[in-house]
Chain A
Amino acid sequence: MIRLLVLLLLPLQAVCAWEVSGYIEPELRLFAEEGLQAGQERTNVSLAIQPEFVHQRGSYQFVFTPFARIDQQDDERTHVDVRELYWLYAGDDWEVQAGIGRVFWGVTESQHLVDIINQTDLVENIDTEDKLGQPMIRLSLVRDWGIVDAFILPGFRERTWPGEKGRLRYPLVVDAGAAEYESGQKQWHVDWALRWTQSWGDWEIGVAHFSGTSREPQLSPGVDKGGRLVLIPYYPLIDQTSLDLQAVKGDWLWKLEAISRDGQGPKRYSAATAGFEYTLVGVNESAVDVGLVVEYLWDERGSDALTPFQDDVMAGVRITLNDEQSTEALMGLISDLEYASNSFSIEASRRLYDRFKVNIEARFFDSNEPRDLAWGFRKDDYLQMSLAWYF
């Protein structure tokens, strides 16, 4: 794959200056127990690669970031994606970007309600922070009163789902190929979005509107071509207006993300995440920072929500050693206030020998409530170790 890419791009490199960087990351996942479904193994080995090719000339940028993963157990997790393939022109106080891009909106840590442009690459990690590349044309204007981004989004990306042998899935497999859409144009509906952001002293504010196919599908039981019982995703057309706010008050960061969505389910609904991050800087006269993160996650739809976070609290501790190896760790507990359901996670990383980075991640699920979406993961506690080599 990489050799092919290099061969393809070599002639280009000769013509103009391309900068190549990226990583290769072998990963091992160990699950504490046998899976609930037949065929789910307790160990999994996987390899991911993400090179990045950048060409810059004056006000132009050209970026190409392919991604590929090979997975031992799950055929669906073995996948390829174009994370980025765009051209960007930067004017004095404006920029335009065309191609496949990646955009992040929002401020909170536990979930990212406001972040809607890119589809979640769910097979990568259930934290929903991995995203698929989204075709877009983006125009951005920088003014004294803020930055405005206008997006035209032709082409919809379907969410990725674990396959038959994949862990961390619902009891039924999602048949992505059978996806249904509200729009008659299916995945070719052209979505649009508009976002304004501004910083005022200690305050950061973002207001956005999205109109188009929801990135979040409703799943309903159905039968696939082979007669098996599966889940069929349905992607409705939605309108979502969002607000994200952050205030910096000394060592405190106050955060809010709120959305109002129409078109998904019988009526318009709201959801929000609100909380704070407090940092104890230089604990005991050392360089170590300890951050405390508390967030409340709410969804008006309650138990009908598509997310397990309808009435939950997240409490976390972030430890940053500020050492040469950039060692850091984040531990977090998300507890459902309505159902007896908890999930605990640890993520830690440390650089090795300048070019390597060790990542450790562990997640533990505890659910006694079949109505909670976390119920399906109750046997999927895992420890993940990976070693990334950066080039």
Chain B
Amino acid sequence: MKLWIIAVSLTLLSGYVYAETPEEKGLAIAVEADKRDSGFGDFTAHMTMTLSNRQGEKSVRKLRVKTLEVEGDGDKSLSIFDEPRDIKGTAMLTFSHALKPDEQWLYLPALKRVKRISSKNKSGPFMGSEFAYEDLSSQEVEKYSYKHLRDEKTDGQDSFVVERVPAYKHSGYSRMITWIDKEHYRPLKIDFFDRKNELLKTLVFENYRQYLDKYWRADRMLMQNHQTGKSTLLEWRDYRFRTGLSDRDFNKNTLKRAR
């Protein structure tokens, strides 16, 4: 990560001398966004997912999330499921990585069993929703290559429009187009394109709130699948930062006793 910052700082400095390519500009925006969001340490939050199908039928999932920021690697996280009731107590421990498969363990309370699961493929649906695992995992600069396309206003805010191509070869996407606001470098909207390069989903971030006077988090994330007509609304509440979590809160013991 640090090398990136140096490289980009040099690029930015040299930008005064010669014109920046779209790729350089795209990367610089991603690095700046990453810089502004790093150093949060840890957070806990409650998440409600509302799944809707084309007929408007809804089902709800509730979970609690604990995340620890890891310098120079993907974050560690522990998710505990509260609803639906049949999976209450199920918990998932993830050590995410940018370019290699995540390490993931699932705790099944009915059998008291911890299962190490294969997580090479991050493109599968999370809890039957329109979010894939890779959409919810920590966003590292190294996960994509970037290209700045244009600047435009979205939802009344001046934004950079940047194309991202996943560097992870097992990603479910060929590319994404992201709208990032110029003032705070927050994602406002993402278009996801499937492996056949057809528009698959659009994610819109709403109700941003700032924590610790620095870190922006959206209260609402709405994912719409254009191909199936299904959508998932993700609502976050009770964000708490720097709660004192450490490495010791993320192991198979904490996974088993998570309730």
Contact = CB atoms under 8 A, between A and B. Distances in A.
A90 B124 contact: no
Interface of A: 19, 21, 23, 54, 56, 61, 88, 90, 92-93, 95, 102-104, 107, 129, 140, 142, 147, 197, 199, 201, 204, 246, 248, 250-253, 279, 281-282, 285, 287, 289, 322-326, 351, 354-355, 357, 388, 390-391
A60 B51 CA distance: 35
A250 B120 CA distance: 5
A102 B89 CA distance: 15
A327 to B, nearest CB: 9
B86 A322 contact: no
Given A142-B253, A248-B118, A355-B84, A56 B124 contact: no
B112 interface: yes
Contacts of B252: 147, 197, 199
B53 A355 contact: no
Contacts of A325: 128
Q: How large is the interface on B (under 10, 10 to 19, 20 to 34, 35 or more residues)?
A: 35 or more
A129 to B, nearest CB: 6
A305 B51 CA distance: 51
A107 B254 CA distance: 19
A90 B258 CA distance: 11
Given A246-B116, A325-B128, A251 B121 contact: yes
B51 A355 contact: no
Contact of A251 (B59, B111, B113, B120): B120
B118 A250 contact: yes
Interface string B53-92: 1000001100000000000000000000001111111000
Contacts of A142: 248, 251, 253
Contacts of A324: 51, 53, 59, 128
Contacts of B23: none
Contacts of B116: 107, 199, 204, 246, 248, 253
16 contacts: A56-B259, A95-B257, A104-B111, A104-B112, A140-B253, A142-B253, A197-B252, A199-B116, A246-B116, A251-B120, A251-B121, A282-B121, A285-B195, A354-B83, A390-B85, A390-B86
A246 B53 CA distance: 38
Given A104-B111, A281-B121, A289-B124, A92 B248 contact: yes
A102 B128 contact: no
B37 interface: no
Contact of B124 (A197, A253, A281): A281
Contact of B85 (A147, A201, A289, A354): A354
A285 B196 CA distance: 10
B138 interface: no
A352 B124 CA distance: 22
